[in-house]
Amino acid sequence: MAADGGTKAVVAALLANSGIAVLKLFAWLLTGASSLLAESIHSVADAGNQVLLLVGGRRAKQEATPEHPFGYGRERYIYSFIVAIVLFSVGGLFALYEAYHKFDEVQAGHENQLVESGFAWVAIAVLLGAIVMETLSFRTAITESNKIRGDAGWVEFIRRAKSPELPVILLEDLAALLGLTFALAGVGLTLVTGNGYWDVVGTAAIGVLLVSVAIVLALETKSLLLGESASPEAQHRIRVALESTPGIERVIHMKTLHLGPEELLVAVKAGVTREASAAQAAATINAAERGVREAEPTAQMIYIEPDIYFADHVPDVRPGPPSPAGH
């Protein structure tokens, strides 16, 4: 992995969000700006999410047990999915509720606390400082991601990455920077115009942004939870290693499944020579396993079934449901 790089990015984001959350809450108490409250809760949710990612990474390192023979690698996917739920509910929905609540206050003609407080400069200073801190966190996430994304574009990297931490942090930091920009615009325009509706617009924009990012995260993490195959490059390396093993004539079927970001299950039906004895077939399979592990280190569990290939070999498809009794 990027396990170390992912952890570094998570810790950087946790430190940034914890400090930012305190500053935003302080500024909100002084100014009453709706955008600041929405951003405060956003930062609290983000900090909690980073704790969840660290917990998931730690739990994923547990040794396999008889009850869980394939280990706990998917803990990282589960906690990343929880992150998406927290971001959606605590961050996005709260911001939308706060925008609705503030809209009612403005319509009712309540005093604009942001304008009247005399601490408007605090709101601006805190938001600018938060943008600087989030930018540093975002830069760390980009630097760590660049170490593993290769030639892939950013969208492809987020969609194809098997390690969830870096894509989560990238999207969270991007959302945080955009949210701060919306908050700064809402607060600034409210101060310039004296119209509280701008604060409402900034808050609503933050809510829509967080809900959108949460949905993207949920969809991508759901795919990992369901079980994704190895990347095309990894599958090619495994197939080449198998077919270059003396005694294996062809790969009849091959399926791969990520049990975790760095744990790959490989199941293969390999065609061996017809003249091979049982001992020779066993030696061939053992050699093939060694070759696969060398070619693809993430292949932690390898199951190879020797077979004889025939032109009319039954395709490897999922069997249909059993026929009802009597039919």
Question: What pLDDT, in 10s, does the model give residues 118-139?
Answer: 677 888 888 898 898 888 888 8
Neighbouring C-alpha atoms within 13 Å toward the C-beta of 234: 23
Query: Can you list the domains of the chain with their CATH numbers?
Result: 3-226 (1.20.1510.10), 232-307 (3.30.70.1350)
Q: How far is CA 89 from the centre of its chain?
A: 17
Q: Which residues contact 98 (CB under 8 A, 6 or more apart)?
A: 34, 37, 38, 41, 203, 207
Is-above-0.85 flag for pTM? Answer: no
Gap between the Cα atoms of 117 and 105, Å rounded: 16
Question: What pLDDT, in 10s, does the model give residues 18-65?
Answer: 888 888 888 888 887 788 888 888 888 888 888 888 888 888 888 888
Gap between the Cα atoms of 298 and 72, Å rounded: 15
Phi, psi at 152, each rounded to 5°: -70, 140
Q: Is the pLDDT confidence value at 248 over 80? A: yes
Average pLDDT of the chain, as a whole number = 84
Q: N- to C-terminal Cα distance for the chain?
A: 52
Gap between the Cα atoms of 115 and 109, Å rounded: 14
Residue 242 pLDDT: 94
Residue 2 pLDDT: 47
Sole residue written with tokens 């892939």: 152
Residue 319 pLDDT: 55
Residue 270's H or E segment, with its range, is strand 263-272
Question: What pLDDT, in 10s, does the model give residues 254-268?
Answer: 999 998 888 899 999
Question: What pLDDT, in 10s, does the model give residues 132-177?
Answer: 888 888 888 888 888 877 777 888 888 888 888 888 888 888 888 9
Residue 235 pLDDT: 93
% residues pLDDT > 70 (the chain) = 90
